Structure 1
Amino acid sequence: MSKQHRQGSIQMIPLDCIVVLNPRERNHRQFEEIVGNIKAIGLKKPITVTPRPLADGKERFLLICGEGRLKAYQSIGEPTIPAFVVQVNDEDAFIMSLAENIARRQCRPLELLAGIKQLRDQGYDKQVIAQKTGLSLDYVKGILTLLEHGEERLLVAVENGRIPLNTALEIARVGNEEKNVQIVLQELYESGQLRGKQLIQARRIVMQRQSLGRSVAHHPPRKTSSEVTTNSLVRSYQKEVDRQKLMVKKAEFAQQRLLFVAGALRQLFADENFTTLLRAEALDTLPTYLAERVWPEGH
């Protein structure tokens, strides 16, 4: 970004004239803290916008950074907000917004990484993207590779620090074949690149990737009540009947064993030598529920 682009002035801008360039979801607790701080001490740092005149002569402003502050002002009913107005084109405005999000590292990982892909789609090569975002060239190359293969689950794991980027790239390289993935994890472990918690996390992510897919947004549709049929009800009923029959069988088996134990103890306790030995070893007591079965009429 040139110095001319960074020159600007502070103005009071109507909220309804500002368009959010790069919207993202926000943490509710953090947003409430922003609102509370603004109510208590006011706005400490102006938002950044760039003007865009409309065909009817009216002026709109693209928001470059400060979405949280803008929404906080909207929530407390303020009509205008202090803004630092800069003259930049659409591409530079987007890069400034993306760089702000990367610096804060508070946006959702996929939103951040999709921004890198958008820069690539706008014609920037990997070297320029790395320079403009402050990320390493190897990191940008790896992220773009995972994006091209739709590996959202691996991307989120990398951005959250659960697994290294090289691990994600190796998993993506071998595809979904479980045997090949396990070989890759074994090789990474033996080379010392993947140890401890990261190895556990990698295995967990691989299992999720195989069962839920590469995307974190799409899951297999759940059956709804509209899909219930007569046959499904009959199957459910039969399954419950079988479960209860099995429970009855287990209860009968346990009762038979208990009766056998009670009978055996009754015969043993009838032997005076055996009871004398138990008393000598201080083993002449029984749990109440068992004693009541050995001597139903008391002892």
Structure 2
Amino acid sequence: MTAIETHRRALMHVAEETTIRLIPIEDIRVLNPRARNKQVFARLVENISALGLKRPITVAPTTGGTESYEIVCGQGRFEALQALGEKKIPCIVVSASEADRYLIGLVENLARRKHSNRELLMSIQILSDRGYTCQQIAEKTCLDAGYIHGILVLLRQGEERLIAAVEKGWLSIKLAMEIARSKDVDLQQAMIEAYESGVLKGEQLMRVRRLVDKRKTFGKRYGQQAPRTEKPTPQKLLHAYQVEVRRQKVMIKKSDINEQRLLIIVTAMRKLLTDDYFRTLLRNEEIPDMPKPLADRILGETP
């Protein structure tokens, strides 16, 4: 029996069962326990306390002759009712093998959870590692086989930045593979060819250029530091010092220019505010105030 047939049979067990039974809480155990977010669980407890249980949990009898049950679906609801001090829990009892129980719980968890793009892409890599071809993965995921091949190439090379750009839709998988395969000296020529052929246009070209620069500076993965291939030397330290000195001199010069411009504005505003016609114009335009830092300078309260 295939996994799909097992899945369908497991779902039919749930669909055919309509009787709801009250089962003592001590007779139930969790089949496949999982950790929970404390805040999410607290909201679930609060919701059940205020509104009651909207949907019974699904359980299956255990083998061995004892009157006990294993949770198939509804661990969160079960634990919330436990926290509220309930003695019995409304349950739907199904007859299913242990494999079917795991499958039903897995399907419910997958259907409820919102997966990130990264998790979905890593699932593609897992399928590939298990021996599935690009065509087989494409049939399972309803994606193009060429896209699957490109994503696998990028995943194996750790190209997280390129994958993110592809997923956002502004970088084609073909160009991402070209960037991943090209050496630094070849990237410029590749981008020129992409621009001339119309693959990259205007703002998109600038975005790709910035992406390539970040990839070169910070690495292929997010949070990764670019490897240092050269040892620092006195000459390099001196050069870095000189570059920083020049940067700070430029910053001071810009600050002086801005200070002069602000002084001109303050002087002009002082003269204008002594003009009755200008003050009348401000009142007519319903401009009763001005930014406090500017007002303080005009009034002479700040240097």
TM-score, L = length of structure 2: 0.48
TM-score, L = length of structure 1: 0.49
